[in-house]
Structure 1
Amino acid sequence: MLAVAAQLLDGHHLVYVARDDSRMMAMHDALAMQCPDAVLRLFPAWDCLPYDRLSPQGALVGQRVETLAWLSEAQASTDTNPADDASDHARAKQTAGSIVLTTVNAILQRVPPTSYFQDRSRILKAGDVTGPARLAEFLSMQGYLRTDTVRETGEFALRGGILDIYPAGHDMPVRLDFFGDELEALRSFDAATQRNAGALASINLRPVAEFQLDDASIERFRSGYRGAFGAVATRDALYESVSTGRMHPGIEHWLPLFHESMASLTDYCAGWKIVLDHEVDAAVAARFQQIS
């Protein structure tokens, strides 16, 4: 841990691959104390088995997407002005470094291409003119689920001129107050008590899923699914749900069918040093055995 901390303090940018979640969090907590100025990002694995019929936890997926989007924005900031959330990456270059903490299971899993996150973020602030109905449509396209009451990451609720949303990377949901089409105020609130927790200057709305249910992605999925399973696939519940633009339990496990190509976490961290936890080889072997 001391060697990793020393490299961060020297301004290096690292990817730390832990053998499991507990080791990842232990390293995160230790570095948070040793290197308070460094940028620490978590990239956990899904909390479900390969080929499972269950979806990973929404908060966990949101954390993954938040890290991938931040890395994508940080890459883009080398050629253009950095986005608001990429500014901590720029500051880290001047002081302490940056580190993405992940696990063997997470780094072995393919992720969307880096281009997926380009131009998919939207920064909102008071005074913006964007009607709640149009914003709700945007959120649905980004993978957010419309509910009556917002309780978990990736959910939103629309009631007249009030739109509640639980963005990826936020500890609390956010309430947007509209007057007509103008956004008047942004406030975080407690999901359990609904009490106001403080005003916000702005929020950055990023995708909350690693795929989109837009027309192009749906057609790509349909074509790939029929190619793999034949005509019988058209009577499958998953196929029918995706065809109508609806989420389905376990849909995340079919991620490659939604994208033209896939990438790895290291594609987002080109030039970064990779640090391996001890006993990683055994964890890799165990994961491959689980997949096969």
Structure 2
Amino acid sequence: VQSLASPFNPHFPNLGEPALHWRGLYGSAGGLTIAQAATHDNPLVIVVTRDNRRLQLLHSELQFYRSGRNAPPLARLLDWECLPYDLFSPHQDITSERLRTLASLPTMCHGLLLVTMETLMQRLPPVMHILGQTFSLACGETLDIETFRAQLQHSGYFAVTQVMGPGEYAVRGGVIDLFTMGFEHPFRLDLFGSEIESIRYFDPETQRSSEKVERIDILPAREFPLTKEGIRRFRENFRATFEGDPQLHLVYREISRGNTPAGVDFYFPLFFSETATLFDYVPLNAYWIIDEEAELQANTLWAEIQDRYQIASHDSERRPLKPDRLYLNPMLLSENLERQRRALIQINPTDEKSIVFSSQLPDEFPVQANSTEPYSALISHLKEGQHRTLLVAETPGRRQALDDLLTHHAIKTTNA
């Protein structure tokens, strides 16, 4: 009889060993197992999901199971939420969170990182672009406003009259408002002469300052450098990539003028001599957990990317980069994954050597609508059970009704 593995003690292969196959993780047991894998004693755990919906669901499960002050960090590297070769650019909030995650990864030795298969396939800016353009400010430091303004513009920030979104800044005398990438709220810097007297969060709607902080990190505003050097390299790489007159190309003309046309993100490799992938950002000893069906999704995504490329190729003013300039093809992706310490979550595997976890689907307790005690099956189960039970209600009202029902039957409850 095959022994069952505990979700509280998941195992991973050593470097160079074949991937392990996990099965028997029903419901949110997968989330519990992943949360237990991300202890301070283990290296970074990277979880690859098949799509955004699964990523958001797993993120919610992990937030529940990781409750506590000493929980290791939990990060997401969101995808752009744009179709390949789209004429739209990612929302600034998405870019902001992506930059914050990418900046933290080189020093993130423990914790959890969630990505979709599409994000894992996507090529990224070089590590040094993110780290090399990140700088910090702290209370008590000396700050020259004109030099600081030049730094912000070099990093891709826009000067505005009132700061409302990520990547914007405003200077009014000795007060600097800055919505740095990677944060949910903007900061207000108060200067006394040339010294930073205070740094506070503020509400862009009410303009009221709130919590004080001692230090902030300022990330680049984009995943590519729109500097003089960046534009020069873009123009050079563009001419080497595409034949004919580059002035006939809308994106080339706009970038040459220092503008950022919508959809320019799908030309970001031209700003660099070479690009990176997520494998370049994370430690070699990281654990990888590949969610059910995620590996199969790579072939489907690659076919969609190829189709989108063929459609985009008909636009003579926006000739697209070839797919392998923007994404890892399934073969390269597989080669990179095979070098990692992997566990594959499977629902219906055929491999008899799979690690089977000790979780099971819960019993069903149907509501007997015509009975005087419609919840009798559930009440009997709870009274007879010797373990704790988590009940989830759809709304606060349903939760209160369930709480009243259990209290009526002398069953002790605690609201989470």
Partner residue of 1:272 out of 279, 286, 304: 286
Please say if residues 156 and 220 of structure 2, whose CA atoms lie closer than 8 Å, have aligned partners that are also in contact: yes
Report deviation, 1:237. 3.7
Identify which range, 9-18 or 232-241, moves more after superposition: 232-241
Identify which range, 7-16 or 236-245, moves more after superposition: 236-245
- More helix per residue: 1
Report deviation, 1:156. 1.5
Q: In the alignment, is residue 49 of structure 1 matched against residue 62 of structure 2?
A: no
Q: In the alignment, is residue 4 of structure 1 matched against residue 34 of structure 2?
A: yes
The Cα offsets for residues 199-237 of structure 1, whole Å up to 9 and x where unpaired, read as: 111101111211112232211100122233345222544
**2:162 & 2:83 partners in 1: Cα distance?**
29
Q: Quote the residue 1:66 is aligned against.
A: 100
Q: Quote the residue 1:169 is aligned against.
A: 182
What are the within-5 Å matches in structure 2 for residues 92-107 of structure 1? Answer: 97-107=110-120
Identify unmatched segments of 5+ residues in structure 1.
75-88
Q: Quote the residue 2:245 is aligned against.
A: 232
Please say if residues 43 and 285 of structure 2, whose CA atoms lie closer than 8 Å, have aligned partners that are also in contact: no
**1:246 & 1:161 partners in 2: Cα distance?**
29
Identify which range, 242-251 or 229-238, moves more after superposition: 229-238
| TM-score normalised per structure 1 | 0.86
Please say if residues 19 and 280 of structure 1, whose CA atoms lie closer than 8 Å, have aligned partners that are also in contact: yes
**1:53 & 1:61 partners in 2: Cα distance?**
16
Partner residue of 1:178 out of 160, 168, 191: 191
Q: In the alignment, is residue 289 of structure 1 matched against residue 303 of structure 2?
A: yes
Identify which range, 2-11 or 108-117, moves more after superposition: 2-11
Report deviation, 1:158. 2.1
- Where 1:118 maps in the other structure, the secondary structure is helix
**2:232 & 2:207 partners in 1: Cα distance?**
40
Please say if residues 8 and 35 of structure 1, whose CA atoms lie closer than 8 Å, have aligned partners that are also in contact: no
Q: Quote the residue 1:29 is aligned against.
A: 60
Report deviation, 1:172. 0.6
Please say if residues 117 and 295 of structure 2, whose CA atoms lie closer than 8 Å, have aligned partners that are also in contact: no
Identify unmatched segments of 5+ residues in structure 2.
1-30, 307-416
Aligned residues: 271
CA RMSD, 1 decimal: 1.8
**Matched letter for residue 26 of structure 1:** L
| TM-score normalised per structure 2 | 0.62
Q: Quote the residue 1:208 is aligned against.
A: 221
Q: Quote the residue 2:234 is aligned against.
A: 221
The Cα offsets for residues 33-86 of structure 1, whole Å up to 9 and x where unpaired, read as: 2224111111010021111121101110111111111113x1xxxxxxxxxxxx
What are the within-5 Å matches in structure 2 for residues 46-195 of structure 1? Answer: 46-72=80-106, 74=107, 89=108, 97-195=110-208
Specify the structure having the higher radius of gyration (Cα).
2
**1:250 & 1:238 partners in 2: Cα distance?**
9
Report deviation, 1:260. 0.8
Tell me the percent identity.
30
- Where 2:38 maps in the other structure, the secondary structure is helix
